[in-house]
């Protein structure tokens, strides 16, 4: 059975006659689907949000970093469609799962989206299919969670169907690396599944990196993001240490990175954002408890990074007190930037939302400006901010507020105009100085 089903799947991947289903038309799933269409496959995109298939059918993108022309081009091939009808999963030879893996209110893994999606696949599973989980998770998820659900219908993993894990490595808005140019790690627990997954991704990605099993692939993604989390925590702590010494941490980092070996620059900020770095370390610390293994270093990094939004508020409050001779209560604050990183409209886990709520809790009158985020979307953690709209740009915008707090350093912002008209600017990203805008009214945080 293994040879028969695996050989047939490999042949369909080789001649591009395979149909691919991508579940989740979000930041990961949509660019993945478009790349697979470009490789010559027929692709069905699945999403529970009825608006997404409707907009895709109309050739409209709902992400700023993905142009509508890319959607229209995929539609024009006749090989791309999107739907909410999950019974069509039976049509797919390969199914890629790209759904969220958030944390619950106790900072523990919430696999409900993965589990529900896997149950839906199981209800439509047929022999010969390859199922690949791309959602970031703890080592053991593919084998311990997905495999038993998929086998409930009587099909056997590794014989009747094949299962693999390949962590997404999307970086929305990155001009240097896209879906097809970022090496792809692939792990599976049997040789046929590994070969099929490697063959599949190799048809549209320049470099595929097979690893021995799904746990190794799951751990690879966590390692990548924990590495970033720990190093960001380090420079955040260095910022706190250097400040009372009169040392500029940004100047130090720029000098240190001139060393051609042994140093990699990371930069401090107002807190972690995005769907990976603030979340992934908790997936590993949670799983490590099952093995009674402490994760002190990782947890300490999480504590430092999680404390940054509160530190930003205290730095702002101190600056308002010293420069404006008033408290935050009643102070008009313009938050500059709402997205979690510059030049994208991605709001996932953005520290700006927490900062805005903390400011409101202190009695400040809060507005925000973000050219990429005209309106704040609904979020589970910050429902009170839903629907808040960005103010319109004008050169003297800062004159309408007591203080400007920079959280996200978009390039398409006139920092000189803001500083010229602001009574006080508190910058958490060193963006004003990078733009050549400096003055006595600028404070680094």
Residue 426, beta-bridge partner list? 405, 443
Distances (CA, A) of 442 to 73, 167, 391, 437: 46, 41, 22, 9
Which helix (H) or strand (E) segment is 72 a member of?
A: helix 68-76
Q: Are 208 and 198 in contact (CB under 8 A)?
A: yes
The pair of structure tokens assigned to 351 is 């520290």
What's the CA gap between 38 and 297, in Å, rounded? 43
What's the CA gap between 142 and 397, in Å, rounded? 51
CA proximity to 350, closest of 431, 274, 445, 428: 274
Q: Are 270 and 309 in contact (CB under 8 A)?
A: yes
Distances (CA, A) of 117 to 88, 124, 385: 13, 11, 29
Sign of the four-CA dihedral 231, 236, 238, 241: negative
The pair of structure tokens assigned to 279 is 């979340």
Look-up of token digits 């005209």: 374
The pair of structure tokens assigned to 408 is 């996200």
The pair of structure tokens assigned to 411 is 């390039």
What's the CA gap between 103 and 139, in Å, rounded? 16
Which runs of consecutive H residues, i.e. helices, occur in 103-245? 112-124, 141, 147-150, 191-202, 214-242
Residue 403, beta-bridge partner list? 333
Confirm whether 276 is a catalytic residue.
Answer: yes
Annotated catalytic residue: which of 276, 334, 364, 413? 276
Look-up of token digits 């006749």: 78
**Burial label, 255 (beta-carbon count in 10 A; 0-12, 13-18, 19+):** exposed
The shares of helix, strand and coil residues in the chain, as percent rounded to the nearest 5, are: 45, 15, 45
The pair of structure tokens assigned to 80 is 């791309």
What's the CA gap between 339 and 344, in Å, rounded? 7
CA proximity to 212, closest of 202, 226, 198, 225: 198
Catalytic machinery residues: 276
């Amino acid at each position: 059975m293994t040879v028969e089903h695996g050989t047939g799947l490999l042949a369909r991947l080789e001649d591009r006659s395979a149909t691919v289903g991508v579940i989740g038309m979000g930041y990961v799933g949509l660019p993945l689907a478009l790349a697979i269409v470009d490789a010559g496959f027929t692709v069905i995109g699945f999403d529970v949000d009825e608006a997404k298939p409707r907009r895709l059918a109309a050739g409209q993108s709902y992400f700023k970093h993905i142009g509508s022309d890319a959607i229209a081009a995929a539609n024009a091939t006749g090989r791309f469609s999107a739907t909410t009808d999950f019974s069509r999963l039976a049509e797919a030879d390969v199914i890629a799962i790209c759904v969220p893996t958030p944390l619950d209110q106790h900072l523990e893994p919430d696999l409900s989206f993965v589990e529900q999606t896997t149950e839906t696949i199981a209800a439509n599973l047929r022999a010969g299919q390859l199922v690949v989980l791309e959602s970031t998770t703890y080592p053991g998820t593919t084998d311990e969670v997905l495999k038993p659900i998929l086998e409930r219908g009587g099909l056997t993993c590794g014989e009747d169907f094949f299962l693999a894990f390949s962590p997404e490595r999307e970086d929305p808005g990155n001009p240097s690396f896209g879906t097809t140019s970022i090496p792809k790690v692939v792990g599976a627990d049997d040789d046929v599944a590994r070969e099929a997954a490697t063959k599949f991704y190799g048809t549209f990605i320049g470099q595929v990196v097979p690893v021995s099993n799904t746990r190794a692939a799951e751990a690879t993604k966590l390692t990548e993001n924990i590495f970033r989390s720990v190093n960001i925590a380090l420079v955040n702590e260095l910022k706190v240490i250097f400040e009372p010494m009169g040392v500029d941490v940004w100047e130090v980092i720029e000098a240190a990175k001139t060393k051609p070996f042994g140093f990699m620059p990371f930069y401090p900020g107002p807190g972690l954002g995005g769907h990976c770095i603030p979340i992934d370390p908790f997936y590993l610390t949670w799983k490590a408890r099952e093995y009674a293994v402490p994760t002190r270093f990782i947890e300490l990094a999480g504590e430092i990074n999680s404390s940054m939004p509160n530190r930003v508020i205290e730095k702002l409050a101190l600056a308002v007190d010293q420069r404006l001779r008033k408290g935050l209560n009643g102070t008009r604050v313009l938050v500059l930037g709402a997205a979690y990183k510059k030049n994208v409209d991605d709001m996932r886990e953005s520290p700006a939302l927490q900062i805005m709520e903390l400011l409101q809790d202190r009695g400040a009158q809060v507005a925000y400006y973000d050219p990429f985020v005209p309106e704040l979307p609904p979020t589970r953690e910050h429902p009170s901010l839903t629907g808040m709209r960005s103010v319109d740009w004008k050169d003297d915008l800062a004159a309408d507020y007591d203080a400007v707090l920079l959280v996200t350093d978009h390039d398409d912002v006139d920092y000189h105009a803001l500083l010229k008209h602001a009574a006080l600017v508190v910058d958490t990203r060193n963006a004003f100085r990078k733009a050549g805008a400096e003055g006595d009214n600028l404070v680094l945080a």
